Structure 1
Amino acid sequence: MKKMKLSTIYLFIVFVILYAPIFYLMFFSFNSGGKMYHFEQFTLDWYRELFHDTRLLIIVLNTVIIALLSSVISTILGVFGAIAIWYVRKNYQKSLLLSFNNVLIVSPDVIIGASFLIMFTVVGIKLGFTSVLLSHIAFSVPIVVIMVLPKLQEMSSSLIDAAQDLGAGRREILTKVILPYITPGIFAGFFMALTYSLDDFAVTFFVTGNGFSTLSVEIYSLARRGISLNINALSTLLFLFTIILVIGYYFIVTKRNGRAVGLGARK
């Protein structure tokens, strides 16, 4: 009982530390006084001002388009990359490929961003939409691989052997055996890539050009000018959007697991 109480208290303290600054920021986004230390009166003026800012709405649209495009492309590349690594039979080759895959995950974002900046400058790619999209795809692919590969490793080779015995070709094995089995990992990789793309700052900061920006870079620019509750309102909406994504992913996984359990019970 004591262990349970201590663990509960510990978790409570951890969640308070994590979420208190966010809720503090959200609370003062409704402050009419325009300050972060004295709440005067409830207002939605900061949200109205936010939605009347055409430039900021364009930046939101840019961020969403970049996140969706990079997530879709990186999910496709990451799934086939994970399958390719899974098919490698020699352990040292598989470990080498995984090490190369993990470089972009463990490397500091500043180094990655600077590397992309140098590469785009040398190749002649203009900084802007294309450079940001390519960068987000590059650092999202390893994340998708990491999320998909465990599902592939869980899959029994007898499933593929059975499909081959029934006359299935490589395409049928891929589309009717492998992809349906690893679907939870694909969804997990997609949502992880989406959230990483939405909140990335360090890499995006290096590869954005004049006339193009994303929300993370714009919030940084606004924060440097001084305290503005527009930042609070924008951050609140971003946090709520992230919560909706997490809940959506949770319901998708729960629904799929429920179907799997139902099918197992019928058998």
Structure 2
Amino acid sequence: MKRKVKWDNLYLIIMFVILYTPIFYLIYYSFNSGGTMHHFQGFTLEWYKEVFQDTRLLIIVLNTFVIALLASAISTILGVMGALAIYYVKKRRMKNLLLTLNNVLIVSPDVIIGASFLILFTIIGIQLGFTSVLLSHIAFSVPIVVLMVLPKLQEMSPTLIDAARDLGANQWNVLTKVILPFITPGIFAGFFMALTYSLDDFAVTFFVTGNGFSTLSVEIYSRARQGISLSINALSTLLFLFTVLLVVGYYFISQRSSRLYGMGGRK
């Protein structure tokens, strides 16, 4: 048994090394004054200054975060409504059908989703740009939120709802004072997952973005095709640090929500 645990730990270490080595390599050379990713000549913050002095890039960063925040907020609302709808479906066959349709959107290749949205927006006359990117990000984020929220609903004991109704609570009170507080960790998980998916999505965004509008993933791709520039390393480093902050923030928020609900349940 001990030998098995050691092999498991070794496997995890190897996987983390494979995953994180390219990222730390990129971060390391973002401080290289030599301008290449081959020989580290000296420490500099020149590439970070270049990022913050690039007005066009700052506008793209703003566009990316506005899209991500709006898409994650709207998809969280729609995802919670969708999870509640699936949860309250009585027929098992219909519930499985809805879950299957939800999961198909997650496992479908991004290229197919992006091309489908491009065709749809072209047919109905939506101009490619902010609106098309926002709608597509909402669409692929909603199923993620549903998958985050639905397990919390299934963990909830029906006796909680029955007790609230016995005490005179109406349907709105049951939803706002019993169900939503219980599934709050799942809602936060869905929001942060949707936020990170929106921030780093490239394939779908590449299809639905138009002239004059871009996001960070598309911009980094277009700049990388023009040649190696350590400003890309600096920008990628900042994005990685922001993602780490999101993960840490989500962890503390979820822990706090669990403790608060646990205290409320004991009372």
**TM-score normalised by the shorter chain: which range applies?**
over 0.9
Q: Which residue of 2 aligns with 1:100?
A: 101
Aligned length: 266
Q: Which residue of 2 aligns with 1:179?
A: 180
Shift of 1:163: 1.1
- Unpaired runs of at least 5, structure 1: none
Asked whether the 8 Å contact 2:71–2:198 carries over to 1, the reply is: yes
Shift of 1:263: 4.9
Q: Which residue of 2 aligns with 1:203?
A: 204
Matched to 1:76, the amino acid is: I
Q: Which residue of 1 aligns with 2:39?
A: 38
Q: Which residue of 1 aligns with 2:167?
A: 166
Aligned equivalents of 1:156 and 1:82: distance in 2? 16
The answer to whether 1:28 aligns with 2:29 is yes
Q: How does 1:147-162 map to 2 (within 5 A)?
A: 147-162=148-163
1:200-235 Cα deviation digits (max 9, x unpaired): 000000000000000000000001001110110000
Matched to 1:2, the amino acid is: R
Aligned equivalents of 2:155 and 2:251: distance in 1? 21
Aligned equivalents of 1:14 and 1:75: distance in 2? 32
1:2-35 Cα deviation digits (max 9, x unpaired): 2232222211111100100000000000000111
Q: Which residue of 1 aligns with 2:58?
A: 57
Q: Which residue of 1 aligns with 2:144?
A: 143
Q: Which residue of 2 aligns with 1:215?
A: 216
Shift of 1:168: 1.0
Aligned equivalents of 1:87 and 1:260: distance in 2? 23
Q: Which residue of 2 aligns with 1:113?
A: 114
Shift of 1:145: 0.4
Aligned equivalents of 2:136 and 2:106: distance in 1? 13
1:62-113 Cα deviation digits (max 9, x unpaired): 0000000000000000001100000001100000111111121011000000
Asked whether the 8 Å contact 2:33–2:42 carries over to 1, the reply is: yes
SS across alignment from 1:39: coil
Aligned equivalents of 2:210 and 2:170: distance in 1? 47
Asked whether the 8 Å contact 2:106–2:143 carries over to 1, the reply is: yes
Asked whether the 8 Å contact 2:153–2:183 carries over to 1, the reply is: yes
SS across alignment from 1:38: coil
Asked whether the 8 Å contact 2:182–2:261 carries over to 1, the reply is: no
Aligned equivalents of 1:216 and 1:260: distance in 2? 38
SS across alignment from 2:168: coil
Q: Cα RMSD over matched residues?
A: 1.1
Q: Which residue of 2 aligns with 1:125?
A: 126
SS across alignment from 2:38: coil
- Unpaired runs of at least 5, structure 2: none
TM-score of the two chains, using structure 2 as the length reference: 0.97
Matched to 2:14, the amino acid is: I
TM-score of the two chains, using structure 1 as the length reference: 0.97
Matched to 1:53, the amino acid is: D
Q: Which residue of 1 aligns with 2:9?
A: 8
Q: Which moved more, 1:95-104 or 1:127-136?
A: 95-104
Matched to 1:74, the amino acid is: S
SS across alignment from 2:40: coil
SS across alignment from 1:33: coil
SS across alignment from 1:117: helix
Asked whether the 8 Å contact 2:181–2:261 carries over to 1, the reply is: no
Aligned equivalents of 2:193 and 2:12: distance in 1? 24
Shift of 1:236: 0.2
SS across alignment from 1:244: helix
Q: Which residue of 2 aligns with 1:19?
A: 20
Asked whether the 8 Å contact 2:129–2:211 carries over to 1, the reply is: yes
